[in-house]
Structure 1
Amino acid sequence: MARIAIGGFQHETNTFAPVKATYQDFEMADGWPGLTRGDAIFEVFRGINLPLPGFIERARAAGHDLVPLLWCSASPSAHVERDTFERISGDLLNLIRQQPKLDGLYLDLHGAMVSEHQEDGEGELLERIRAIVGPSLPVVVSLDLHANLTQRMLRHASALVVCRTYPHVDLAETGTRSAELMDRLLRHGPLAKAMRRAEFLVPLPWQCTLINPAAALYRVVEESEGPGRAASASFAFGFPPADIAECGPAVVVYADSAVEAEREADRLIGMVNAAEKEFAGKIWQKDEAVRYAIARSANATRPIILADTQDNPGAGGNSDSVDLLESLVTLKAEGAVFANLYDPETARIAHEAGLHGSFERGIGAWCGSPGLQKFRGRFKVLGLGDGNFKATGPFYRGNNMQLGPMALLELGGTRIVVTSRKQQAADQAMLRHVGVEPAEAKILALKSSVHFRADFQPIAEEILIVAAAGDNPVDNCALPYRHLRKGLRLMPLGEAFQGFSATSRT
């Protein structure tokens, strides 16, 4: 039996977003649990689709003794504030120092954290940890599919294990694979490792593993593991709105020998590069999409889904853009539902007005993103909720959602789901909580890029990726990058980054 410390510190950083992550954001529960310490981890995370509970279950089954440290996450946003990063990482480091003897350490990280002072948040954290635990302690790290893998992360972790689905329905399974790899390291010692990078960025909607080419690529990655093959193989797409030098897709392979690791890494990155031209798809403009959805829904038996990807709170958007909502109302999209609008003040006013009450105000566009405008009207209150409910979809499986006061409003035949905490519309329970049955809507406009597909795709007639106002441009060429490495193509088969120019990028 080994004594293994466990913990986590997660943030996905959109360096172009306007609102930074504070300590309070990590303390607060939303779609995932808030900051949790010590033995409470075992109860709070039980049955949730996250890597940490997957690791716990598998490691306990192997007979290991687990030492819970702390775990926290904050909704994707701009940079993690310097003091916040230092406070949380300092707490985690102190907890590790306090342990008299450890045989291993497992961390549930994201892989795309950028703080105000550290471009590579996870790499910095792992370097500090390695300085405490020494060079030989097995340190296994699970990462999100959107991780931007860095050389520091590779150097200081014994193994990096990346999830393989987007929507991320395999997070707990990723924790299980991490525990199995930890067990192997404890029994047989360190593995050789190799990492390779692609030279192009892939927009989030086309990273979806429910469709090709991503679906086919991840099948190959999974099949590359096993007896006589790699001990572990991972492919991370990277997170394009993170303006850092090591942004972008990469593969990492662990094997018994350096030759095997290098050979398999070369093979996998070759397949990624060969698929570059397939990573493209139609992007609909908002009015074009709404007109099409109205016409298509007239004869459809299931909802037409409009993915409001550029205001996706799961990618650092603020979920407060009402650009697409304005199109739905103006073009008279009867039977449409718009979710989720993050607007705590509007939710509060709706609760004051009461069920069947009404009020007039400008909603949305309150977080400060340039160019966004409120949408004014007289809204009727059709439903109210406290924001506390159990998630039912595959992505948020098992989690107790805590979204604060919620309301269902109506204007011009369109219903609007309003929340008091920022959370992408990736679970049907969010709509049902305020009285909407998603399958009965004619049009569903959802603030999400891909995660909504796990629960909503089975009820969809058709899905359109829509470009409306927001802080997560679907075309990476629209982002004013400064720090990418030169030569990295901003879009598949697109222009290469040549370095920041104050005259060409304003």
Structure 2
Amino acid sequence: MRIGIAGIAIESSTFSPHRAGAGDFDVRRGDALLQRYDFLQNEWADGVEWVPLVHGRSLPGGAVVAEFYDELSAEIIERIGTAGELDGLFFDIHGAMSVVGREDAEADLATRVRAALGPNVMISTSMDLHGNVSRELGAAVDLITCYRMAPHEDAMESRERTARNLVERLQSGLGKPKKAWVQVPVLLPGEKTSTRIEPAASIYRRVGEIADEPGVLDAAVWVGYAWADEPRCQAAVVVMGDDEALITERATELAKAYWDARADFEFVAPTGTLHECVNAALQSTARPFLISDSGDNPTAGGAGDVSWTLRELLSIEDLTTGTATAIHASIADPDAVAAAVEAGVGNPISVAVGGKVDFGPAGPVEVTGTVFSITDDPVGGTVAVIQVGGLHSIITSRRKPYHHLADFTLLGLDPAKTDLVIVKIGYLEPELYNLAADWLLALTPGGVDQDLLRLGHHKVVRPLFPFDPDMAEPDLTPELI
């Protein structure tokens, strides 16, 4: 059988002024695209001709500029038309892509892909659990699932399940499964729905149990994407299979479990203002002490150049005098990096940093210190570290998340031997989670502000929890699509 591979994947905050375009996406075709998926070499994939069409993937950011979306989506449709006969399509998307001036970009793309493939080619869709599943998207594709872990340690495993489900379904000759779909009027940030803690841990454990039942092909719960303002943004459940009564019953069970737990979801770590978190860290003996600078998290859609936290850190005497050591990661500012390169390692520098894309919380902040290191990074481009007393500020020429110990050691920094490590992140990714002797989540401003009520949603469908905490019980009857 011949199965195509295509998609566009990005998580887009409509509250971030960043705009994602060609420079943000890693677009692959041919063998380079196939290399994204090691699991295509597994035994279950034997006998399949995988047809790489085109796929674009980006670090989360702001909305995608319409011209780039139109160009890449048109190429997907064109390549479908010239690919020859296909039995199926592995459709690898995120589910929270926003496009400037459009709504429900994934449904638009899926509908166009369906039209190009015709009604009989089976489409199997892989998604992030922070994506959104509108009825239009659910109806345009045949199989659809998402990750079951946040942090997304099962991301590639979920993609493999998506492709394997497609292959096995085609081999079975059973045709397209039924999908029991229902939206749940709850919209929560990922930092309140981590599967490391309850109630998400139990809900997603139950998802796996249901997916393994006879008569069920797969099951999924999407928490939705909290930092986009579109009608599709809310939680959703899809259970797929051939036993209509069973999948309807199980979709109802999962939707009700999510709804009933809506007020029980809590932040994955204790929270506070930045100064509350820093003061607690300085008074603690736990080292290293990690603080999530959550409002400008680039892996949730933040612009990556908000300077507000750096400005506040520079006002804390213990850090600027070197009484305590700290790392702040990071701010994207190519001009500031260029100034550091010109100054040279070991030399003094005074430069305005950040606040040039997302300048709402704070404009550029003047940093006067010493150039500690300059390094070439495969993701962040040229990276400069500026030292002010005990504070090391990481400045990148391209937006980059800091999730791994090697991200720091490459720069000559050792987070394990640093008092405070402040990272633009929400829940800690595994290496940082294991590193932290203690951890707090700072509620800082930015395009992915954890305080949803102050962001200003006005296009989401109301009533919606937590915007309407006293809303009436919703109708959670699934629809078979």
**Both structures adopt the same fold (TM-score exceeding 0.5):** yes
**Conserved in 2, the CA contact under 8 Å of 1:417 and 1:431?**
no
Query: What residue number does 2:403 align with?
Result: 426
Alignment-derived partner of residue 17 in structure 1: 16
Aligned to 2:263: 277
Letter in 2 for 1:436: L
Q: Distance in 2 between matches of 1:257 and 1:54?
A: 33
Distance 1:235 1:58, change over 3 A: farther
Structure 1 stretches of 4+ moved >6 Å: none
Moved more, 370-379 or 403-412: 370-379
1:37 pairs with 2:22:
no
Counterparts in 2 of 1:243 and 1:138: CA distance versus 1, 3 Å: same
SS in structure 2 at match of 1:39: helix
Within 2, Cα distance between the matches of 1:87 and 1:103? 25
Offset at 1:495?
A: 6.4
Contact 1:138/1:185 (8 A) holds in 2: no
1:139-288 pair list within 5 angstroms: 139-186=123-170, 187=172, 188-281=174-267, 282-288=270-276
1:153 shift after superposition: 1.1
Higher mean C-alpha deviation, range 266-275 or range 360-369: 360-369
Alignment match, 1:49: none
State whether residues 237 and 255 of structure 2, in contact with CA within 8 Å, keep that contact through their aligned partners in structure 1: yes
Distance in 1 (CA, whole Å) between partners of 2:292 and 2:358 is: 22
- Please state if 1:459 is matched with 2:444: no
1:85 aligns with 2:85: no
Is 1:494 aligned to 2:469, yes or no? yes
Deviations 1:312-333 (A, max 9, x none): 1112211222222233332223
1:330 aligns with 2:315: yes
Match of 1:5 in 2: 4
Runs of 5+ unmatched residues, structure 2: 473-481
- Aligned pair count reads 463
Query: Distance between the aligned counterparts of 2:342 and 2:278, measured in 1?
Result: 32
Higher strand share: 2
Q: CA RMSD in A?
A: 1.8
Distance 2:415 2:195 in 1: 23
> Who is 1:469 aligned against?
445
Amino acid at match of 1:4: I
Q: How does 1:393-432 map to 2 (within 5 A)?
A: 402-432=379-409
What is the TM-score with the length of structure 2 in the denominator? Answer: 0.92
CA distance, structure 2, for counterparts of residue 12 and residue 231 of structure 1? 27
Deviation string, structure 1 residues 440-495 (Cα, Å, up to 9, x no partner): 11111000112x3322011112221112231211011012112111201235x736
Deviation at 1:58, TM superposition (A): 4.1
Paired letter, 2:314: V
The answer as to 2:456 corresponding to 1:480 is yes
Map of 1:379 onto structure 2: 369
Q: CA deviation at 1:271?
A: 1.2
Q: Percent identity?
A: 28
Cα pair 1:17 1:471 within 8 Å, conserved: yes
Q: How far off is 1:268 after superposition?
A: 0.8
Structure 1 residue matching 2:192: 3-state secondary structure:
helix
| CA distance, structure 1, for counterparts of residue 189 and residue 358 of structure 2 | 24
Q: Which runs of 5+ in 1 are unaligned?
A: 27-33, 46-52, 389-401, 498-506
Query: Quick one: which of 345, 349, 355 aligns to 2:339?
Result: 349
- Give the direction of change, closer, same or farther, for the CA distance of 1:61–1:129 in structure 2 (3 Å limit): closer
Amino acid at match of 1:251: V
Q: Offset at 1:375?
A: 2.1
Contact 2:189-2:226 at 8 Å conserved across structures: yes
CA distance in 2, matches of 1:446, 1:213: 26
Question: 1:54–1:172: 8 Å Cα contact kept in structure 2?
Answer: no
Relative to the length of structure 1, the TM-score reads 0.88
> C-alpha deviations, 1:103-123, integer Å up to 9, x for none?
111111000112123211111
Query: Are residue 109 (structure 1) and residue 93 (structure 2) matched?
Result: yes
**Which string of whole-angstrom CA distances, capped at 9 and with x for unpartnered residues, describes residues 244-278 of structure 1?**
11211111110112212111100111111121122
Q: Which amino acid aligns with 2:271?
A: I
Aligned equivalent of 1:50:
none
Specify the code of the residue in structure 2 equivalent to 1:476. L
Q: Give, as a single letter, the amino acid of the residue that structure 2 aligns with 1:490.
A: P
Render the CA deviation track for 1:144-178: whole Å, top value 9, x for unaligned.
Answer: 11001111111011111101111111111011111
C-alpha distance in structure 2 between counterparts of 1:307 and 1:368, whole Å: 19
Shift of 1:229: 4.7
After superposition, the Cα gap between the structure-2 partners of 1:284 and 1:467, relative to the gap in structure 1 and judged at 3 Å, is same
Residues 45, 167 of structure 2: 8 Å contact kept: no
Q: Report 1:40-59 matches (<5 A).
A: 40-43=32-35, 45=36, 53=37, 56-58=40-42
Distance of 1:432 and 1:495 partners within structure 2? 49
Higher alpha-carbon deviation: 141-150 or 355-364 = 355-364
